Copies of this chain bind each other. A is one copy, B any other.
Amino acid sequence: MLFIGVIPRPQLDPQSEVPLYHQLCRHFTELIRSGSLKHGERLPPTRELAGLLGLNRTTVSAAYERLESDGLITGHVGRGSFVTGGEAAPAAGLNWDAILDASHAASAPESLKAGAGTISFAVSRPSEELFPLNDFRASCDAVMAGPDFASVLQLGSPGGYEPLRQYLIEESRQEGVLRPTDDLLITSGCQQALDLVRRVLVQPADKVLVEEPVYSGLKNLFLESGADLTGIPVHANGVDAAQIERATLKARFKALVVTPNFQNPTGATLGREDREAIVRVAHNAGTVVIENDIYGPLRYEGESLPTIKQLDETGDGILLRSFSKISFPGLRVGWAIGPRAFIARMMEAKQLSDLHSDQLSQATLLHFAKSGGLEAHHARILRAGAERLKAAIAACGRYLPAGTRFTRPRGGMNLWVRLPSPLDAGELLPRAHREGVSYLPGKYFAITRPETGSLRLSFAGVDPAHIDRGVKILGEIFSTEWERQLTSRNREPAPAMV
């Protein structure tokens, strides 16, 4: 290596696309960062260095200016330029703020961070006291004692653990939701099924129809991919097919994501006619229907309705289901059913995502289902869910302030509560936390119409006594605030007419 004084001579390439001053700047940056040029050392004067390297002096000056603006050297008039960065300075890293684009996820709501002792209505999940731990252990032990156990622990297939996949295919065929033209893919829960659908289907700026209010994990997922979301309001009977049709007449929508049963967050369920209408409308518009049926098996009252996929004679529908809500959310096993070509592409996306889903859980859930453990547990959580739903509806009626409206679902895990104006569910949440109760405010579920007066009450994970106690506490907070606001408003002097 050649040197200029104590400094290694740079290898400059006048033919390069990189300007000479930039090459020179990089050379000094590296010398300083690597410690070859130390804090306090003097750089050669620009005129001298230009002469030595056969460069124009302005080239050297430009390099020094850049080094100075990078904080690596400081120029002193009449004395020259000195290293000020490097070893003595803390190691300067990447500018992560500039590298990382804006986040698509709202920061985790406080209600998910509420401490112990809390009555949490904030998470849509089953109750762990109801988990049949002995049945689960028996299934897992049977898998571990089985002749194929080593293959369960070996690298698997993107489509899923094949014995479970075949079992789900057969069950779905018998139920009538899987046609001869369909295939089935196992995913890491419904969330991953949605993610894979999005990866296969949605390009940036594609228009997608979703329900509003809607589960934030669905909204953020599509926003992350740059989709243009349109929210269709959810009423007591789910989204309105006529509104979907009006939207499709105005623009071309790539997909419609719909939760037909006990929608999250409203608990609303689509009637049969609306399901049929959605099939027609989507068909006419060339829109793919993604049916997120995660809550379907949690019907506590009334008759089950056919899935949208069953009603669609073309076989084009995509149906997403999961074991999470009816068994153990800590095991991530869901599945997607759809036309072969579509499922084949989801399998490719699955392979790129995580190769395949965990096989110990798949094998254990298969045994749990085949042994009858799942059915017995399902019956138990339907009974418990019915009690909890009843307790939640009764408590809302008894304790929430006059003027409050809330949905009356017949299954699922969630009620949607609309407080009387001008109450703000987000503003009141810290007060609820102080009293040991949590919920999710309506704003987390908005596409374009934040319902500040609304909140989601997830009742399935809380026993009836705690539901009563928790809603009573909320009722007191909301009523007190409502009366306070009413009083202060009445006291306000009437404004002058202008």
Which residues of chain A have a CB within 8 Å of any CB of chain B? 16-18, 23, 26, 29-30, 33-34, 91-97, 99-101, 103-105, 123, 125, 128-129, 131, 133, 136-137, 140-141, 144-145, 149-156, 187-189, 191-192, 195, 199-201, 203-204, 217, 220-221, 224, 249-250, 254, 280, 283-284, 286, 288, 313-316, 324, 328-332, 339, 341-342, 345, 348-349, 351-361, 364
Contacts and interface: CB of A to CB of B under 8 A. Distances in A.
B93 A348 contact: no
B284 A33 contact: yes
A331 B359 contact: yes
Contact of A91 (B23, B288, B313): B313
Contacts of A94: 286, 288, 314, 316
Contacts of A220: 352
Contacts of A156: 329-330
Given A18-B250, A330-B360, A360-B361, 14 more contacts: A94-B286, A96-B316, A100-B341, A100-B345, A101-B203, A104-B352, A123-B155, A129-B150, A137-B141, A153-B329, A195-B354, A217-B352, A329-B355, A360-B360
B29 A284 contact: yes
A351 B283 contact: no
A312 to B, nearest CB: 8
A72 to B, nearest CB: 11
A107 to B, nearest CB: 9
A255 to B, nearest CB: 9
A192 B341 contact: no
Contact of A99 (B16, B284, B288, B359): B288
Given A101-B203, A103-B348, A354 B155 contact: no
Contacts of A284: 26, 29-30, 33
A33 B280 contact: yes
27 contacts: A18-B250, A93-B314, A96-B341, A99-B288, A101-B203, A105-B351, A128-B154, A133-B144, A137-B144, A140-B360, A141-B141, A155-B324, A156-B329, A187-B354, A189-B354, A191-B355, A217-B355, A224-B352, A331-B358, A331-B359, A332-B355, A332-B356, A332-B357, A358-B358, A358-B360, A360-B360, A360-B361
Given A189-B355, A195-B353, A330 B154 contact: yes
A135 to B, nearest CB: 11
By CB atoms of chain B within 10 A, which of A249, A315, A324, A358 has the most? A358
